[in-house]
Each structure stands twice: as C-alpha cells, then as structure tokens.
C-alpha cells in the first residue's frame, strides 16, 4: 500500500550552479584540474587565505574569554556604526537619515531588502542587470513573487564592455515611479565592468527623473581596486546628491535607498556570514518607523544575527594597528588579482589564441567575463578539467603562476575550434 502526499509531487531542483561546479571539481581526480568557478579568494598556491589582520583579531578575541550571548535583534550597534563609517565615510555616516542593521552577510542583506521593499514599498517592477549574480533573481523570486523582475541591458558581447546606452534606454522606457533598480556598487558580478563616474552621474539622472528606489549591492569594497574610498564612490555620490543636506524637490529625488554590504570577500569571512543593511531616507523623513519594520522582519527570520565574525570586523575597524594591517591585506588581494589578469592576457596573446583579450585586463575585481560560449566552457571542463560558470564567468583567484599557462592553452584550444 502506498501513501500519496503533496510532497511527492515536488520536482527535484538542481543545486545552484557555482556550488554544483565546486562539488564536481572536488570529485575530479585529474592532477591539473583548475577551479575558476567559485567566488572566493585563493592565495598563490590556490589555498584559502586567512587574512593576517583577521588571524590577529581572532587571537585577540580568544584571549578575552568572551561570552556567547545573543546579540540584539538589529545586531551590535558598535559594529553597524563602523560598517556605516566604512561605506559612507565617517563624515556622511553621522547623518541621522542613515539607519543600519546587521545581516547574514550580503545575501541576507539583499533578502532583507527584497522583503522590506515587497511589503512596504510595493514596487511594480524590480530592474536587475543582464547579466547579474544569479542569487538576485532567486532572492526576489522568493521574497517578492508578485513583483515583476525585468532585465536592463548591461553587457555588450560584441565590444565586451558596458552596454550603457541600452541600460539607460531600458530604464527610461520601462521603469515606473517607485520601481526598484539593483545596482552593483563596484566590481560588477559577473562582468567585472563598472560605469565611469560620468556614467554613474547619468544613471543618477534617470533615477531622479523616474523616481526609482535604488538598492546598491556592495560586496567588494577594497577588494575591487585596493582603494576603499574609490570602491564606495558611487554609493557616496548617490547619497550626497539625493539625501544629504537640504531637501530636494520631490520630483527630483528618489524616495529612499538601501545599501547591502558584505564582509565575506574583503575580510575573507565567508563562512561567518557577516553583513549589514543601510536604509537611507530623505532628510525630511524620519527613518524610525522603517527601522522598526526591518527589526520585525529580522526577528521573524533569524531572531538575531551572528556574533563571532561581527567581533572580528569590529575590532579590526576600531584598532588602528589592525585597521592598517587589514588595509594592506585588502591591497594584497586586489593586487594579486590584477597580476593574474595581466598574466592570463599576455599568455593568451603570446600563444596566439584567436581573438582580442584586452577585456580581461580592463575588467575589475574577482571575476572576468571571458566571452566564452557555453559550448566552449563545457569543453574546458570535459576535456581540460578547467571549471568555470556556463556564462563564461571566470574567478581569477583560481589562477597562479603554476597554472596560468595551462589555462591559456586550454582556452586557445576551445576558441580555435570555432
């Protein structure tokens, strides 16, 4: 006798691609295999790197014999203050129209932002770059199922550069007042292509004209360029233009802005899941009510955030010696990624790989959007045991001096076959 259940009708869903790719890589026994799929930093030996500043913070905290009590629902106030200072600058962060809560890394911040917008902003559309980090779609699908997800052009495959005109045209023609637009603050994932300052100003023009609600995703501050201030430029520009000082006419300003901040990449605290969400309101609008609703959502979902990683970040940002050491650590990671970019490009050129590879060096951050097709990526994995996402996104941290020539030859093989 069999028992039927509604659960038996649920289809088996595939594992998220990046995690499935890592699982396949781990099972591969080929000695020269290369993992260019997972978005985590690796050192020159392709091993996980614990930042020296983080190691020092861990040792300091261990000596303190601290307890493991619950944090408040919105997180540790001293941590969110320093997170806000880092992102907006200490001067801007003092303004009372920025309110902050601790989150479960950048993913938790994005999910909280989507929940908040879906329940209280109620936009008709959310605009997401094409392409984007795949979790943006899943987050908005689950948190705001009634909100229509629309794509705005971002990548031009012919020039392997930003499709800026297409982006602006789509927002101009399709966006409606109160719609949400997700913007990557720096080191766009997956393309590694960021707008120029002039282009950011024009994006702000369309945000103001259409009265859109901006959600910035900031996962790579410092990691992208090695310069913490440069990587926060777009966020600070939007804040200073729309939300600082005297109120602008309603017709010339968005109703608010959210910044989702992650400490996974720039502190190497991937598994500790440390992040923050910053809600910005116009100067004339008190954020108190919105803050209490954020707290309510956190209480329902996680009750309160995690403790240890928050303590690590806080002590590093507030201790001058550790802060200086951390800033050097961030530069170390950014510099290594920039070096392997140049090495791969030069190697491809030296061996005569078909096509132009300048875009690899022009892009920024952990990823390169290679321009390889799904067929080419599949052959890289099946024949050469080089793993990357099907859309051609390569995580450059998996490259080093020992394997860059092998990867370049593998790429040459797949592109020369077409």
**Active-site annotation holder among 140, 231, 265, 357:** 265
Enclosing H/E stretch for 153? strand 148-153
Answer yes or no: 133 catalytic.
yes
Alpha helices, DSSP H, located in 14-158: 17-27, 52-64, 77-88, 90-93, 105-116, 134-143
The Cα 395–Cα 329 span in angstroms is 19
What SS3 string covers 226-273? Answer: CCHHHHCHHHHHHHHHHCCCCCCCHHHCCCCEEEEEECHHHHCCHHHC
Answer yes or no: 217 catalytic.
yes
Enclosing H/E stretch for 198? helix 197-210
Dihedral sign (CA 121, 125, 126, 127): negative
**Active-site annotation holder among 179, 194, 217, 231:** 217
Residue 244 phi/psi, 5-degree rounding, is: -100, 140
**Active-site annotation holder among 49, 133, 140, 326:** 133
The Cα 140–Cα 295 span in angstroms is 20
**Which residues are marked as active site?**
133, 217, 265
């Amino acid at each position: 006798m069999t028992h039927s259940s509604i659960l038996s009708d649920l289809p088996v869903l595939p594992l998220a691609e990046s995690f499935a790719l890592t699982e396949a890589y781990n099972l591969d026994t080929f000695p020269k295999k290369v993992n260019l799929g997972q978005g985590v930093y690796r050192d020159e030996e392709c091993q996980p790197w614990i930042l020296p500043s983080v190691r020092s913070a861990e040792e300091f905290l261990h000596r303190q014999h601290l307890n493991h009590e619950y944090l408040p629902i919105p997180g540790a106030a001293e941590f969110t203050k320093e997170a806000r200072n880092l992102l907006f600058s200490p001067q801007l962060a003092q303004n009372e129209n920025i309110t902050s809560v601790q989150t479960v890394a950048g993913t938790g911040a994005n999910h909280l932002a989507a929940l908040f917008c879906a329940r209280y902003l109620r936009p008709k559309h959310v605009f997401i770059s094409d392409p984007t980090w795949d979790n943006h779609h899943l987050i908005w699908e689950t948190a705001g199922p009634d909100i229509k997800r629309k794509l705005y052009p971002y990548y031009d495959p012919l020039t392997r550069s930003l499709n800026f005109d297409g982006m602006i045209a789509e927002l101009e023609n399709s966006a409606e007042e109160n719609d949400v637009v997700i913007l990557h603050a720096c080191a766009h994932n997956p393309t590694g292509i960021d707008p120029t300052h002039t282009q950011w100003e024009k994006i702000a023009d369309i945000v103001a004209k259409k009265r859109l609600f901006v959600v910035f995703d900031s996962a790579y501050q410092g990691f992208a360029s090695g310069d913490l201030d440069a990587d926060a430029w777009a966020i600070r520009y939007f804040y200073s233009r729309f939300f600082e000082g005297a109120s602008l006419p309603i017709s010339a300003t968005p109703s608010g802005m959210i910044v989702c901040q992650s400490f996974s990449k720039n502190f190497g605290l991937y598994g500790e899941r440390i992040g923050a969400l910053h809600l910005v309101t116009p100067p004339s609008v008190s954020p108190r009510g919105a803050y209490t609703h954020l707290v309510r959502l956190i209480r329902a979902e996680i009750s309160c955030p995690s403790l240890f990683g928050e303590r690590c970040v806080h002590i590093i940002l507030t201790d001058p010696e550790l802060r200086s050491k951390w800033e050097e650590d961030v530069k170390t990671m950014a510099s290594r990624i920039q070096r392997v970019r140049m090495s791969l490009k030069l190697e491809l050129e030296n061996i005569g790989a078909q096509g132009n590879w300048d875009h690899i060096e022009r892009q920024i951050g952990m990823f390169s959007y290679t321009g390889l097709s799904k067929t080419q990526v599949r052959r890289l994995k099946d024949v050469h045991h080089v793993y990357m996402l099907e859309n051609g996104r390569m995580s450059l941290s998996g490259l080093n001096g020992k394997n860059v020539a092998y990867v370049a030859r593998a790429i040459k093989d797949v592109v020369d076959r077409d």
